[in-house]
C-alpha cells in the first residue's frame, strides 16, 4: 500500500509540473466539458462514477489522479478528480511510462474523420483510407460497457475514455480530413493547414488544429497561473449561463453518436474552413470571434451529453454485455 501511495504522489507531482502533452481540446477544454457534466449529474451518478474511477487498474495510474486534489474538501476533490480523468487519455501518451503507454494509449481512438473536398459550392465526400479513426466505434463500445455487468476496473477505463472521446468528437477538426491539392491524402484534421507565413521556423509555426485545440486558453489566458478551480470554474459557469441545459436539451440526441459527429463535421466544413480563412495567415478578428463562439457551444453540448449518459447509466440495474 505504501508503494502504491508513493507512486501516486510521484505521478501527482509530475502532473502538477505540467510536462504532459495534451491533444484534442487541450486540458482546459476537456476539463471545462467535464465540469459542465459534473454540474448536471445527479448525486447518485456522481458517487457511482467516482467510486468506479477509483477502482481503475493500478497500471493505468488513473486512480492516482485522485491524489492530486487531496488537499481540498471532499466534494471539490471528487469534482476535480472527475475533471482530471477527462485528460487521462492524453496523459497516457507519455512514452516515459512505457507499461501504461503500451497498454492503454491508442492514437486512432481520438478522432473519426470524414474525408471531403469542396467543389465550387458543393461538398463532395471521398473514400476514407483503411483507417480514418476509431473514435465513434470506441464511444459506442464504451457506452455499452458502463451499463453492463463488467467489473468496475473495466468500467473505470471506459468512463475515462468516454469523458475524453465525447470531448474530442465535439472538436470539429476531430471529425474532418479535408482533401485539397496541397493535402491530397487529407489535412490530418487541420494539422497540415499552417497559419504563419511560409518559411517560418518549424518551432515557431502553428497550425489550424492547434488554433482550435487551444482556443479557450488563448481567449481567456490563465495569466495569474491560478489553480483549476479558480481559473476554469468561472469560464465554465459563464458558458453554462450562455448555453443553459434547458436551451440545449432538445438537441442532446441521446446516444445518437453519429449525429454528434455529423454536427461537428458541419461546423468544420462551414465555420472552421470559412471563406475568410487563409493559409499562411493568422485568422482575422472576425474569425477569432466566431471560432470562440462555436467552441463554447461545442464544449457545453459535450458536457451536457456526458452528464446525460452517466445519469442514465447509473440510475438503474446493470445490463449484461451479451444482451
Domain ranges of the chain: 23-45+105-313
Contact 70, 77 (CB under 8 A): yes
Contact 46, 38 (CB under 8 A): yes
49-92 confidence digits (pLDDT tens): 999 999 999 999 999 999 776 667 899 999 999 999 999 999 99
How far apart are the C-alpha atoms of 151 and 211, rounded to whole Å?
39
Range of weakest confidence among 10-14, 59-63, 82-86, 309-313: 10-14
210-238 confidence digits (pLDDT tens): 999 999 999 999 999 999 889 999 999 99
Give the three-state DSSP class for 100. helix
How would you label 151-172 residue by residue, b for 16+ Cβ within 10 Å and e otherwise? eebbbbbbbbbbbbbbbbbbbb
Whether 4 shows a pLDDT value over 70: the answer reads: no
How many Å from the N-terminal Cα to the C-terminal Cα in the chain? 38
Q: Give domain 23-45+105-313's CATH architecture.
A: Orthogonal Bundle (1.10)
Per-residue confidence (pLDDT) for residue 199, from 0 to 100: 94
Whether 323 shows a pLDDT value over 60: the answer reads: no
249-290 confidence digits (pLDDT tens): 999 999 999 999 999 999 999 999 999 999 999 999 999 999
If you average pLDDT over every residue of the chain, what do you get?
90
Whether 2 shows a pLDDT value over 60: the answer reads: no
Per-residue confidence (pLDDT) for residue 9, from 0 to 100: 35
Per-residue confidence (pLDDT) for residue 318, from 0 to 100: 46
pTM over 0.85: yes
Q: Which three cell numbers stand for residue 154?
A: 473495466
Amino acid at each position: 500500500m505504501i508503494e502504491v501511495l508513493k507512486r501516486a504522489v510521484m505521478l501527482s507531482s509530475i502532473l502538477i509540473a505540467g510536462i504532459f502533452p495534451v491533444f484534442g481540446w487541450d486540458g482546459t477544454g476537456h476539463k471545462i466539458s467535464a465540469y459542465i457534466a459534473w454540474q448536471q449529474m445527479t448525486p447518485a451518478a456522481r458517487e457511482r462514477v467516482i467510486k468506479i474511477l477509483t477502482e481503475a487498474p493500478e497500471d493505468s495510474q488513473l486512480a492516482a489522479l485522485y491524489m492530486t486534489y487531496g488537499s481540498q474538501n471532499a466534494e471539490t476533490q471528487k469534482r476535480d478528480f472527475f475533471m482530471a480523468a477527462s485528460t487521462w487519455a492524453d496523459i497516457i501518451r507519455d512514452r516515459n511510462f512505457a507499461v501504461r503507454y503500451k497498454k492503454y494509449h491508442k492514437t486512432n481512438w481520438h478522432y473519426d474523420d470524414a474525408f471531403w473536398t469542396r467543389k465550387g459550392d458543393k461538398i463532395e465526400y471521398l473514400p476514407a483510407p483503411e483507417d480514418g479513426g476509431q473514435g465513434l466505434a470506441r464511444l459506442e463500445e464504451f457506452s455499452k460497457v458502463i451499463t453492463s455487468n463488467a467489473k468496475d476496473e473495466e468500467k473505470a477505463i471506459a468512463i475515462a475514455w468516454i469523458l475524453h472521446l465525447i470531448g474530442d468528437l465535439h472538436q470539429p477538426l476531430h471529425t474532418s480530413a479535408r482533401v485539397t491539392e496541397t493535402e491530397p491524402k487529407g489535412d490530418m484534421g487541420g494539422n497540415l493547414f499552417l497559419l504563419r507565413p511560409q518559411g517560418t521556423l518549424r518551432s515557431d509555426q502553428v497550425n489550424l488544429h492547434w488554433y482550435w485545440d487551444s482556443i479557450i486558453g488563448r481567449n481567456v489566458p490563465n495569466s495569474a497561473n491560478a489553480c483549476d478551480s479558480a481559473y476554469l470554474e468561472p469560464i465554465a459557469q459563464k458558458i453554462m449561463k450562455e448555453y443553459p441545459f434547458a436551451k440545449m436539451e432538445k438537441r442532446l440526441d441521446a446516444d445518437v453518436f453519429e449525429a454528434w459527429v455529423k454536427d461537428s463535421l458541419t461546423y468544420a466544413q462551414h465555420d472552421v474552413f470559412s471563406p475568410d480563412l487563409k493559409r499562411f495567415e493568422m485568422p482575422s478578428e472576425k474569425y477569432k470571434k466566431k471560432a470562440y463562439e462555436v467552441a463554447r457551444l461545442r464544449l457545453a453540448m459535450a458536457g451536457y451529453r456526458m452528464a446525460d449518459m452517466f445519469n442514465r447509466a447509473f440510475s438503474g440495474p446493470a445490463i449484461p454485455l451479451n444482451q
